């Protein structure tokens, strides 16, 4: 259910996902060409059963839409925003400037990019004091999803248990591989 109303409208009409409840996390990206990277964040949230919305908001091409999205996000019930962009990636920082919610930035490496995503990384991570953006590694939208889950889990014991189980699963996987190597 991620179709319609994502690109042009001034008033955001994001598509919903996750467990079907009211979205708690907003995933936005500067272009639909970022979706190949950003869908990993949605997949993580869906795995944890966290309701999400996903849409395109461009800092440069739809600045009024960005303003509207950022200004209304908290009153619409969102608890965190994941924002991905490539190149001159101003979206996460500008959204962080206009919302009280935690913003997680994903530097996207567009296909054919000359600077391997380093431009986006530096654009997102070098925020001035007072306006934080939690920046993940270039292209690592899955970690953005996991960080959003952890933020929500800090006040949600059931979600915290899911995160503990996820972490234990990683540990078990690595220990299993180590045991095989040692045989
Ligand atoms: C950025 O420019 C977008 O976030 C995207 O990563 C990049 C290219 O966008 P398109 O030209 O593919 O729409 O603003």
- Report the atom number in ligand 1 closest to the C-alpha of 110: 6
The pLDDT score that the predictor gives to residue 15 is: 60
Where b means 16+ CB within 10 Å and e means fewer, 28-64 reads bbbbeebbebbbbbbebbbebebbbbbbbbbbeebee
The pLDDT score that the predictor gives to residue 11 is: 41
| Length reported for the chain | 183
**Does the ipTM exceed 0.90?**
yes
Instruction: Establish whether residue 57 lines the binding site of ligand 1, counting it when its CB lies within 6 angstroms of any ligand atom.
Output: no
* 150-166 residue pLDDT tens: 999 999 999 999 999 99
Pocket mutation for ligand 1, best pick of 6, 29, 34, 39 (most atoms within 8 Å of C-beta): 34
Structural domains of the chain ordered from first start: 15-176 (3.40.50.1970)
Q: Is the pLDDT of residue 9 over 50?
A: no
* 48-68 residue pLDDT tens: 999 999 999 999 999 999 999
Pairwise pLDDT comparison (42 vs 8), residue with the higher score: 42
Instruction: Establish whether residue 85 lines the binding site of ligand 1, counting it when its CB lies within 6 angstroms of any ligand atom.
Output: yes
Smallest CA-to-CA distance from 83 within 64, 74, 70 is with 70
């Amino acid at each position: 259910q991620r179709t319609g109303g994502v690109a042009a409208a001034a008033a955001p009409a994001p598509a919903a996902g996750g467990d079907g409840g009211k979205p708690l996390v907003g995933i936005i990206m500067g272009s639909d060409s970022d979706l190949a990277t950003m869908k990993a964040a949605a997949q993580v949230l869906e795995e944890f059963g966290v309701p999400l919305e996903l849409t395109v908001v461009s800092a440069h091409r739809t600045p009024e839409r960005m303003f509207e999205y950022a200004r209304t996000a908290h009153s619409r019930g969102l608890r965190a925003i994941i924002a991905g962009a490539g190149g001159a990636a101003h979206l996460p920082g500008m959204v962080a400037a206009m919302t009280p919610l935690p913003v997680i930035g994903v530097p996207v490496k567009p296909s054919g990019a000359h600077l391997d995503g380093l431009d986006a990384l530096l654009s997102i991570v070098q925020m001035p004091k007072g306006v934080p953006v939690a920046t993940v590694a270039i292209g690592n939208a899955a970690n953005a999803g996991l960080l959003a889950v952890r933020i929500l889990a800090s006040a949600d014991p059931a979600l915290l248990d899911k995160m503990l189980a996820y972490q234990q699963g990683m540990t078990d996987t690595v220990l299993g591989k180590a045991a095989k190597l040692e045989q």
